[in-house]
Amino acid sequence: MEFHTVSSLVRVFPDTKPIPTAPKGIAMENEAFSFQVAYRSDQGGVMRVECRGDMADWAVVAQVGLVPSQLPAYPEPDDHYERTQPGLFPDPLMPIPSWRLGLSASAGWRSIWVTMDGRDRPMPAGDHEVTLHFTHTWTGQELGSCTFCMTVLPAQLPDQTLHYTCWTYLDCIAQAHHIRLWSKRFW
C-alpha cells in the first residue's frame, strides 16, 4: 500500500499518482481545515481508519467518491481544463461507516478527506500532530500511517457576515416543467 498526504486543493484521480504535498497546515481555533490522504491498495479486503493524537476528537473523515463524466469538455477545448477525456472524477464526500473502507487492488488511487473542524468547539492553540493509522481488518496487519502537522493559531475568525447567492437556472426549471419562460404559470 502507498499513502501520501495531499492538499485539499488537489483532485486525486484513480489513474494518476498524486504529487504529495507538505504534511503541514495552519488554522485558527474555530476554523474548519481540510487535507487529504491519497492511497493505493495492492490487495483486497477492508481497511480500518483510525485517527490518533490530541486532535482526534476534531477529526471528521470521509471518502472521496468517484463520479463518471462522459463529456468533461467539448471538442477543441482551451488549455485550462484539468482533464478533457471521459473518466471517473473525484467529487462527492461520502461518510465512512464505522471508519472502515473497502479495498481493491484494481481501484487505482483513492483519497480520504480529513476535516479538522473547530467550528462548533474551538481547537486548542499550539502545534499538533494528526496521525491516521490504517489496518487491514481481516488480517490485523498494519498497512501504514500518515502524520499531518497542524499549527492552530491562538485566534478566532469573526462571525461571517458574507452573503452568498446560489444561482438558479430559470430556463432549465421552465423546460423541466414544460412551461413558457416568464409566463404567468412560470411565476
How far is CA 26 from each of CA 19, 64, 123, 154, rounded to the nearest angstrom?
20, 23, 12, 11
pLDDT digits (tens, 9 = 90+) for 126-146: 999 999 999 999 889 999 999
pLDDT digits (tens, 9 = 90+) for 161-179: 888 777 778 888 888 899 9
Element (H, E) at 150: strand 142-153
How far is CA 82 from each of CA 12, 40, 73, 78, 85, rounded to the nearest angstrom?
12, 21, 10, 10, 10
Element (H, E) at 176: helix 170-176
pLDDT digits (tens, 9 = 90+) for 40-93: 998 889 999 999 989 999 999 999 999 999 999 999 999 999 999 999 999 999
Q: Which amino acid is at 40?
A: R
Element (H, E) at 52: strand 45-52
**Quick one: pLDDT band at residue 105, thresholds 50, 70, 90?**
confident
Q: How many percent of the chain have pLDDT more than 90?
A: 70
> φ and ψ at 74, to 5 degrees?
-75, 165
- 146-160 average pLDDT score: 94
User: Per-residue pLDDT for 186 more than 90?
Assistant: no
* Cβ neighbours for 149, distance < 8 A, ≥ 6 positions apart: 23, 24, 25, 127, 128, 129, 130
CA distance 37 to 17: 12
CB 37 within 8 A of CB 114: yes
Q: In what order do the strands lie in the sheet with 32-40?
A: 2-7, 32-40, 109-117, 59-69, 87-95
Residue 11, all three cell numbers: 483532485
